[in-house]
Amino acid sequence: MRRWRLVWAVLAGTAAGTFLSGPLAAPGAVAAAVAVWVLIGRSEPASARRRREAARHDLPHLVGLLADALRAGRSPTDALALVTAALPGPAADRLAPVVPRLRLGVDVRTVWEGLAADAALAPLGRVLARAEATGAPVTDAVARLAASLADDVRGAAEDRARAVGVKAALPLGLCLLPAFVLLGIVPVVAGMLGTLGL
């Protein structure tokens, strides 16, 4: 969409100008072209959406391993370094720049708030920022987040499994309906017609 942004805007303006007539044609065409230009500019590219979804999918595993590393006595910085090295992938790629910033001495609260601004890693960033602000144990907060994310993943899988049954009902019904008619209804009707002497 972004590659052909100008073409889509011109086509929208032309369509609006053709549809509207009289004094509204020119302003309507310009408004439609500008609206399409802005909407396409704000849209997220498919590749970025796929990367964000992949990172969101990896997040429960990453947070679970982070909780285990923190329970083992690692500092948050060392635990993050261990996790990003152990679980390479989209979530670890987004989390990897945090480790050097922490090691360089950037304010921890600023780092966690920046992590909370990431769409895929926001739950982890919020939990770490809240633990830093309140002084709560990071280990407990991350462990609770890991359990919550695991429950969310399990619930999403169950919802998808239930949806398969609902989506399969219509095609199966359409497949079984001709057999039901041929094996159940046609013999009964034929037998009734035979008894009537037709």
User: Which pLDDT score is estimated for 126?
Assistant: 87
Name the amino acid, one letter, at 4.
W
Of 175 and 48, the structure prediction assigns the larger pLDDT to 175
User: Which pLDDT score is estimated for 196?
Assistant: 78
147 pLDDT above the threshold of 80? yes
28 pLDDT above the threshold of 80? yes
CA distances from 153 to 34, 87, 175 (A): 40, 18, 33
Q: Looking at residue 44, what DSSP letter applies?
A: P
Consecutive H or E run containing 170: helix 138-180
User: Which pLDDT score is estimated for 162?
Assistant: 84
Q: For the whole prediction, is pTM greater than 0.85?
A: no
For residues 37 and 9, is the Cβ–Cβ distance under 8 A? yes
User: Which pLDDT score is estimated for 66?
Assistant: 87
Name the amino acid, one letter, at 16.
A
pLDDT tens digit sequence for 49-79: 777 777 778 888 888 888 888 888 888 888 8
User: Which pLDDT score is estimated for 40?
Assistant: 79
User: Which pLDDT score is estimated for 1?
Assistant: 65
How far does CA 95 lie from the centroid of its chain?
18
> Mean pLDDT score of the chain, rounded to an integer?
83
Of 44 and 110, the structure prediction assigns the larger pLDDT to 110
Over residues 83-97, mean pLDDT:
84
Over residues 160-164, mean pLDDT:
84
48 pLDDT above the threshold of 80? no
User: Which pLDDT score is estimated for 44?
Assistant: 65
Over residues 96-117, mean pLDDT:
84
The domain segmentation of the chain, as residue ranges, is 5-43, 48-154
For residues 141 and 79, is the Cβ–Cβ distance under 8 A? no
Share of the chain above pLDDT 70, in %: 97
